[in-house]
Amino acid sequence: MTRFWRRHRSLIVPYSLLLPAFLVVFLLAFYTCLWLVRMSLVNWSFGAAWSKAQPAGLSNYVWLLTDQATPLWKSLQLTGFFVLGTVAAELVLGFGLALLLNGRVMGRSIHTALLVIPIVVMPSMVGMIWRLYFSYDGLINYLIETLTHLKLNWYGAGLALPAVMIVDVWEWTPFFILILLAGLQSLPHDPFEAAIVDGANGWQLFRFVTLPLMAPLLVTAILLRLMDSLRIFDVIFVMFGGGPGSATTTLPVLVYRITMVARNVGRGSAVSVMLIILIVSLTILLIRLFQKARIEV
Amino acid sequence: MAANKFRLKRWLPMGISNLLASLALITFLFPYLFMVASAFKERLDVLAYPPVFFFKPTLENFSQVFGDINILFYMKNSTIVATFSTLLTMVIAVPATYALARYRFPFKESIAYGFLLLQMVPGISIVFALFHIARMVNLYDTYLFLILVYLLWNVPYAVWMLRGFVESIPVDLEEAAMVDGASRFGAFFRVTLPLMAGGLSASAILIFIGAWNEFALAFFLTSTGARTMPTTIAFFMTHAGIKWGPMFATATIGTLPVVIFALLVRKYFVSALTLGAVKG
C-alpha cells in the first residue's frame, strides 16, 4: 500500500484538482443519462406518476425506427436540410464578408464590434421578433413587396423552414465573419509576396495562397457550427413550435413534440437517446478533424 | 485624363467594398435596432403596414412591463442564476483546467474530450429526465437546480476555453516563484492566476451571457418561482393575440446588459467562439 502511494503520489494532486468537476459534472450527467435511458424503455404518459410507467422493452425504439407513422425520418431529413443549408449559406456569406472586411475598408473595428450583436441577443427573443418580421404584414414582406410587388406567406408549410433558416443565417453569419477575419488578419505576409513576385493574379492568390492557409480554420469553424446548428431548439420552438404541420420539426423540436405535445415520454426519450448518440459520434469525428486542423494551425 | 482614370480605378473598388461592407452591417444590425425602436412605439404603430420608421416615442410599453408583468422579478431571477452558476463554474473549472494544463497523468486527454462531448449534448435532449429528477428530489422550480444544471455545460466550456490561456503562460514563471520559496499553490495564486485574469474574466462574462440567454432548460425546469428572463416570452402570448409592444420592451431590457458585456470582451470574443481554437 505504501509502495502504491509512493509510486502514485504525483497523481494525487491532479486528480484531486479534477475531483470537484468530476463529481458535479460527470456524476450529474451520468445519473441524468441513466434516467433518460430508463425513461426510453417504458410506456409513460407525461405528467403521470413514475409508478404508472409500463415496461416496454425496446418497443419505443422499434416504433421510431420501423413504424410507418414514425416522424423520425422526416425529422432527420429536415434537420439535415436545415443544418447543411444554414451552415453552407453562413460559410459563403461569412467568408465573403470576412475577405471584404480584410481589404481596404474604413472602420473595421466598428464592424467587428457591432457584428457581435446578433450572436449574443437572447435566442428566445430573436425567435419572437422574427416571428413578427415574417408575418404577412411584417418587415420582410414589406421589403419583398417594395422590390417585387409580391407578398409571401412565410407562416405556410412551404416557407416556414426557409424563414427559420434565414433567422439562423442572420444570427450566425457574424460568427463566420469574426472568426475568419481574425484568421485572415493573422496570416503571414511572405507567401503572398512570393506569389505576387511570381505574377499571380487576384484569383490565383485566393485559390492557391489564401484558401490553403485558411483551410484548417475553415474546417474548425464549419464543424463547430454544424454541431451547434444540430442542437438548435429555442429559435425554432419560439417561431413556429415545429409547425405548421411538421414543417419545422427538426430533431430537437421532435423531442419536445413527442414528449410534451403527444405526451409520450418513452418515445420522446428514445428520440433524445438517438439524438445524443448522433451528436456524440459526429463530435468524435469532429475531434479527429479538429486535431488535424490544430496541428496545421 | 490619365491621372483621372488611374484615380477612378483605384477609388472605385474601394468605394464599392466600403458600400458593400456598410450594407452588410446595416443588414445585420437593422433587425435588432428595429426591435429596440418598436419597444418605444404605440400599439398600433408596432403592427402598422407599411412598417413605421418615424414615430413619436412612448414609454407606455415599458411601464406595462415593469408594472403588470413585474419584469424586475424575472431579472432578479436571471441575475441570481447567471451569477451563481458563473461563480461556481469558475471555482470548479479553474483547478480542473490547471490539472489538465500543467500535470501529466493517465486518461488526461480522455477526460478533456469527455468534457467536450458533454458540452455538445443538446439541453432539450436531457431536459425531461432532469425535470423528472428535479421533481423526485423536490428541487423543481428552484435557483439551485437550474444553477447545478447549467454547470453541466458551463464547466466543460470553461475548461476548454481556459486550458489554452493556462498553457500559454510559461511554467518557468511558476518555477521561479517556487525557487524563491513559494509553494506550488502559492506560485499558482501569485503568478499564474493574475496572468490568467484577462482570459478568466472574459470566459466568466461569456458564461454569464450564456446562462442569461438560456431558454430550453429554464423553460421546462421552472414555473413561477425561478423563471428567468428568456422564458417570459410565454407571458406575451394571450388569447387576444401576442402583446408585441411589451414583448419588444422586454427584449430590449433583456438584451441590453448582454450587448454591453459582449462589447466589453470583444477582444476575447473570437477565441471564445471557437473554444479557444483561434486566438482572436
A143-156 pLDDT, tens digit each = 999 999 899 999 99
Q: Provide the ipTM.
A: 0.89
pLDDT at residue B182 in the model:
81
Which is nearest to A167 in space by CA: B247, B211, B31?
B31
Closest chain A C-alpha to B253 CA, distance in angstroms: 11
The range of the structural domain enclosing residue B253 comes to 68-273
Residues from chain A that touch B263, judged by Cβ atoms under 8 A, are 113, 116
The span from the CA of A81 to the CA of A79, in Å, is 5
Contact map slice: A 85-124 vs B, CB within 8 A: 97, 100-101, 103-106, 111-124
**Which residues touch A53 (CB under 8 Å, ≥6 apart)?**
A39, A42, A43, A44, A265, A266
Q: Is residue B124 part of a domain?
A: yes
Q: Which residue in chain A has the smallest CA separation from B248?
A: A129
Q: What is the pTM of this model?
A: 0.90
Q: What's the rounded mean pLDDT across residues A182-208?
A: 89
Interchain CB distance below 8 Å, A21 and B92:
yes
Closest chain A C-alpha to B193 CA, distance in angstroms: 15
Residue position matching grid coordinates 486535431: A291
The span from the CA of A143 to the CA of A162, in Å, is 16
Closest chain A C-alpha to B2 CA, distance in angstroms: 23
Is residue A5 predicted with pLDDT exceeding 80? Answer: no
| Angle, vertex CA B80, rays to CA B79 and CA B85, nearest 5 | 105
**Same domain, yes or no: B42 and B127:** no
Residue position matching grid coordinates 401576442: B242
Residues from chain A that touch B122, judged by Cβ atoms under 8 A, are 230-231, 233, 252, 275-276, 279
Is residue A135 predicted with pLDDT exceeding 70? Answer: yes
Q: Is residue B13 part of a domain?
A: no
pLDDT at residue B34 in the model:
95
Decide if B205 contacts B264 (C-beta within 8 A): yes
Interchain CB distance below 8 Å, B230 and A122:
yes
The span from the CA of A137 to the CA of B233, in Å, is 21
- Name the pairing type of β-strands A42-43 and A54-55: antiparallel
| Selected residue with higher pLDDT from A297 and B273 | B273
pLDDT digits (tens, 9 = 90+) for A274-287: 999 999 998 888 77
How many separate domains does chain B show?
Answer: 2
Residues from chain B that touch A173, judged by Cβ atoms under 8 A, are 28
**Same domain, yes or no: B149 and B25:** no
Phi, psi of A197 (to 5 degrees): -60, -40
pLDDT at residue A297 in the model:
47
Interchain CB distance below 8 Å, B49 and A142:
yes
The span from the CA of A262 to the CA of A258, in Å, is 5
DSSP classification of residue A186? T
**Same domain, yes or no: B140 and B264:** yes
**Same domain, yes or no: B27 and B159:** no
pLDDT digits (tens, 9 = 90+) for A85-110: 999 999 999 999 999 999 888 888 88
Q: Chain A interface, mutation test: which of B208, B229, B273, B275, most A Cβ atoms within 10 Å?
A: B273
Question: Smallest Cβ distance to B124: which of A21, A122, A255?
Answer: A255
Question: Smallest Cβ distance to A32: which of B99, B113, B133?
Answer: B133
Residues in chain A: 297
Q: How many CB pairs under 8 A join A and B?
A: 267
pLDDT at residue A110 in the model:
86
Residue-level pLDDT, tens digit, chain B, 280 residues: 455 555 666 777 788 888 999 999 999 999 999 999 999 999 888 888 888 888 889 999 999 999 888 899 999 999 999 999 999 999 999 999 999 988 888 888 888 888 888 888 999 999 999 999 999 999 999 999 999 999 999 999 999 888 888 888 888 888 888 888 888 888 888 888 888 887 888 888 889 999 999 999 999 999 988 999 999 988 888 888 889 999 999 999 999 988 888 887 777 777 677 665 554 3
Classify residue A90 as exposed, middle or buried by CB count within 10 Å of its CB (0-12, 13-18, 19+).
buried
Q: What's the rounded mean pLDDT across residues A178-199?
A: 89
**Same domain, yes or no: B90 and B52:** no
Q: Which residue in chain B has the smallest CA separation from A40?
A: B129
Q: Is residue B162 part of a domain?
A: yes
Which is nearest to A216 in space by CA: B278, B88, B186?
B278
**Domain containing residue B197: CATH number:** 1.10.3720.10
**Same domain, yes or no: B110 and B48:** no
Decide if A178 contacts A171 (C-beta within 8 A): no
Decide if A217 contacts A293 (C-beta within 8 A): yes
Q: Is residue B236 part of a domain?
A: yes
| Selected residue with higher pLDDT from B270 and A112 | A112
Q: Which residue in chain A has the smallest CA separation from B37?
A: A129
**Same domain, yes or no: B193 and B83:** yes
**Same domain, yes or no: B44 and B178:** no
| Selected residue with higher pLDDT from B38 and A201 | B38
pLDDT at residue B280 in the model:
38
Instruction: Give all domains of chain A, ordered by start, each with its CATH number.
Output: 2-59 (no CATH), 63-296 (1.10.3720.10)
The span from the CA of B20 to the CA of B265, in Å, is 27
**Same domain, yes or no: B41 and B125:** no
Residues from chain B that touch A20, judged by Cβ atoms under 8 A, are 91-92, 95-96
Please name the amino acid found at residue B238: T
pLDDT digits (tens, 9 = 90+) for A165-188: 999 999 999 999 998 998 898 888
**Same domain, yes or no: B54 and B108:** no
The span from the CA of A189 to the CA of A195, in Å, is 10
